[in-house]
Structure 1
Amino acid sequence: MEGLAILRLLWTAATLGAAAAEAHPPPVTNFSISVKNLCTICWEWSPPEGINATCKLWYASHLGEDKVISLNNFRTEEVALNERVCLHVRSQCSVGSTNPSDAVEMCTVPPEGDPESAVTRLQCIWYNLSQMNCTWLPGKKAPPDTNYTLYYWYSTLEKSLQCTNYYLEGQLIGCSFELLKGNVSGSEKIQIMVADTAGAIRPSYNITLLNSVKPDHPVITALSFQNDSLYVEWESPENFESNCLVYQVEVNDSKPKKHKVEESKNKCHISQTPQELPRNSKHKNCLVIEHVNREALYTVRVRAKASKYCFEDDNLWSAWSPEKTIGQKSDSTFYTVTLLSIPVAISISTLLLLLYLKRLKIIIFPPIPDPGKIFKEMFGDQNDDTLHWKKYDIYEKQIKEETDSVVLVENLKKTSQQSE
């Protein structure tokens, strides 16, 4: 009986202890917030006052849907400060407590300025694992003469730095800064802020993960025929591991017109040993295209993108490599002359045919003579000329005779008078 009583006492004590542990604790105190670097937010708080000694304090903090339960009385996050950011903290006496304290909220102050004056489409791409290229569009209500300034920070920097290499890319404004692979880790986050020197626009923030990677274009080093196959060899861009790139090879041939795109991950077998290779030797890659026509002219180019095994696949292909050609170029002079001579021959043939048809028409359907025209030619012109001559002759004769007759008459009169 005494043993049973002791067990009951122990069970009661355990129950009371559990009840005390699960009691509703007071909320945290001295909640504060600070911002470091560009986008690093630090929340800190003090334990609640009057907490039961049997309560082992845990803190549940909510940042949106992201919940963290920890023994630490602080929380640090990298968040783009384009909007108001709030953290809710509750104290509780166990990890899985169902009776936490009331929530305490602490929020950041949103950036000042008109939201429509802030830049848009702020995006950063890690180019060839050597430099970060960030581009953006001006805001709708940004002054046209705005002088933009880009600041960046990552973990190995003591303070944020200002980008100095600005450029234009169509309507986009951009700035690039050096970011070598050896200076950052694969999980690094780059904090970006774009503002202006006069404070006329609203600052814009961005947290860039090192997963948007765009390599430099490969370089074709060998192009040759091997039996009935085409062998293509190229060098990888610098700074990439051998298995961190995927390649695309484009082949255009001239007989007949074709377009081939092949993807290659295979490495070529280099005849030299590693000791014989120079230290700065790049990785060799190759692709063999079978059943090619040696009499055709082949144009080859290659591009690359980061492999999903090393980076997230953003489908950011590099630019195409400079083209290389191999094979025989067909003589286009014969085809050019042929194309030009065909329309000339057709034109001449058409003209000759029209002349022949006109002559043939005259032979088959000769013109019928006009009798009136014949008689007119025979008699009409002659009669006209005769009448004209006769009229002229009579007229002249009449004038002559009248003049002569008058003279004769006068002479006769004078002669008669004198004789008398």
Structure 2
Amino acid sequence: MAPCRLPVLPVALLWVLVSSSSSSPSTVAPPRDLRISDPGLLGSLDVEWKPPAHIQTFNECTVKYKFEYRSAGDRDWKVIFTRKLKLRVGFDLSRSAEVRLQTLLQGRCTDDVEVQSDWVHATFQSPPQGKLESEVQNFQCIYHDWEYLKCTWQPGLLTPRGVHYGLYYWYQGLEQALQCGHYIQEQGINVGCVLQNLTQAEYQDLNICVNGSAAATLLRPLYTTLRLHNLAQPSAPEQLVLSVSAAQELRVAWSPPGGRVPPHCLEYEVQVAEDAGEAAAAWAIVSTQTETALTISRANQSHVSCVRVRGRTNIFCADQGFWSEWTQDCFSVSRKEDKQLFILIPVVLSLSISLIIFMLIGQCKKRSPAGKPLHAPMGY
């Protein structure tokens, strides 16, 4: 019996198979010359790099970059996939900026398998200035009615006399950082700022820096990044109306506040309480809702004497927000009943007296002879 023989492949075909399999790269070089620069935009830094050497040889593959960044101390990295060679991203300049980058190669040249390079790293640190205790304290901002931003602060612990504070801001769309045009002052020192016309800054990063200057003293600047929709505080709801239905159900209705606050972005909290005349009334939440009306059943409202409503930006438009002031209306069922009782008592008394007089007159007429007065005239 003849032995089994494997088919002999042509030498040319064998060379093609070997060469094609060996041409698929298993590694790719990382990007080159990764660097970070500060364009003076209060925390938005420019990061740029060059492609790996000889990357043009992989013309049948797509070259992308995985870019990760964070401020020192943050646990998580923010990730961007891009084909660009330059990005502008935001950092907290009070801490060092950290970035890392790698090349991603995928396509026909890799048999559609993604090949990743090693990471390259870079950091950036603003030159330190002043002691930490010289930085302003208690910095906070509220976006009132989606119309204006009010930020306030207090001087740092190491604040010399004659200090001058300035607030600067920048967001995507501005060519350069701008300074506050309307400061709030106490004893001649800037302790706050009101910014208007920030519609273009909504739903994006707003970079802010508050720095100070004093004679022969360096002060630590404060850097922060805000999102206006997370700082919004609407005005109180309007036109709170209470009414009682025929089924003795208490109906509460109100209108959204005015201003630029989108009505669909609001949620409301409704609370009720007893003892309207007492400052320490025990308020209880009965509803948190997006509708502008609520019906409280008779069983649940029998002892209610006060209703109040407030609003804030809901989770569909913001991660958080500030509650408005309360819209409040108080009443007392018992007082209404007493008032009705006080009205009825004089009426009942009047009717009773009239009835008594009428009965007495009737009895007197029955006792007197017909056609003769009760008392005869004098002289008869």
| TM bucket normalised to smaller | 0.5 to 0.7
CA distance in 1, matches of 2:197, 2:239: 27
- CA drift of 1:291 comes to 2.2
Deviations 1:194-227 (A, max 9, x none): 1124473111111112323222111234233333
CA distance in 2, matches of 1:102, 1:229: 67
Structure 1 pair 54/230, CA: closer, same or farther in 2 (3 Å)? closer
Which residue of 297, 305, 322 corresponds with 1:290? 297
**5+ residue gaps, structure 2:** 1-6, 71-76, 107-112, 340-380
User: Aligned-pair RMSD on alpha carbons?
Assistant: 3.7
CA distance in 2, matches of 1:104, 1:264: 48
**Secondary structure of 2:218's partner?**
coil
2:242 paired residue number: 223
TM-score for both structures, normalised by structure 1: 0.61
Structure 1 pair 118/7, CA: closer, same or farther in 2 (3 Å)? farther
CA distance in 2, matches of 1:158, 1:320: 41
2:371 paired residue number: none
2:349 paired residue number: none
Native 8 Å contact 1:195 1:204 kept in 2:
yes
**Secondary structure of 1:243's partner?**
helix
State yes or no: 1:14 paired with 2:20.
yes
State yes or no: 1:44 paired with 2:48.
yes
Rg larger for: 1
CA distance in 2, matches of 1:27, 1:230: 69
Which residue of 207, 211, 226 corresponds with 1:208? 226
**5+ residue gaps, structure 1:** 268-284, 332-420
Native 8 Å contact 1:124 1:212 kept in 2:
yes
2:151 paired residue number: 134
1:5 paired residue number: 11
Which residue of 262, 269, 290 corresponds with 1:241? 262
CA distance in 2, matches of 1:102, 1:246: 46
1:114 paired residue number: 131
CA distance in 2, matches of 1:30, 1:308: 39
- CA drift of 1:236 comes to 1.0
Native 8 Å contact 1:222 1:234 kept in 2:
yes
Native 8 Å contact 2:40 2:177 kept in 1:
no
**Secondary structure of 1:159's partner?**
coil
1:301 paired residue number: 308
Deviates more, 1:62-71 or 1:205-214: 62-71
State yes or no: 1:53 paired with 2:65.
no
CA distance in 2, matches of 1:204, 1:310: 28
State yes or no: 1:76 paired with 2:88.
yes
Identical columns (%): 24
Matches within 5 A, 1:149-188: 149-163=166-180, 164-166=182-184, 173-179=191-197, 182-185=199-202, 187-188=203-204
Deviations 1:21-53 (A, max 9, x none): 445537513745233422211112233456572
2:78 paired residue number: 66
Native 8 Å contact 1:224 1:326 kept in 2:
no
CA distance in 2, matches of 1:90, 1:297: 65
Matches within 5 A, 1:291-330: 291=298, 298-314=305-321, 316-325=322-331, 328=335
Letter in 1 for 2:184: Y
Structure 1 pair 37/52, CA: closer, same or farther in 2 (3 Å)? closer
Higher strand proportion (structure 1 or 2): 2
Letter in 2 for 1:166: I
**Secondary structure of 1:195's partner?**
strand
Letter in 2 for 1:62: E
Structure 1 pair 293/124, CA: closer, same or farther in 2 (3 Å)? closer
State yes or no: 1:86 paired with 2:98.
yes
1:146 paired residue number: 163
Paired residues in the alignment total 305
Deviations 1:251-291 (A, max 9, x none): 33449986443225364xxxxxxxxxxxxxxxxx2222332
Higher helix proportion (structure 1 or 2): 1
Structure 1 pair 240/12, CA: closer, same or farther in 2 (3 Å)? same
Native 8 Å contact 2:29 2:103 kept in 1:
yes
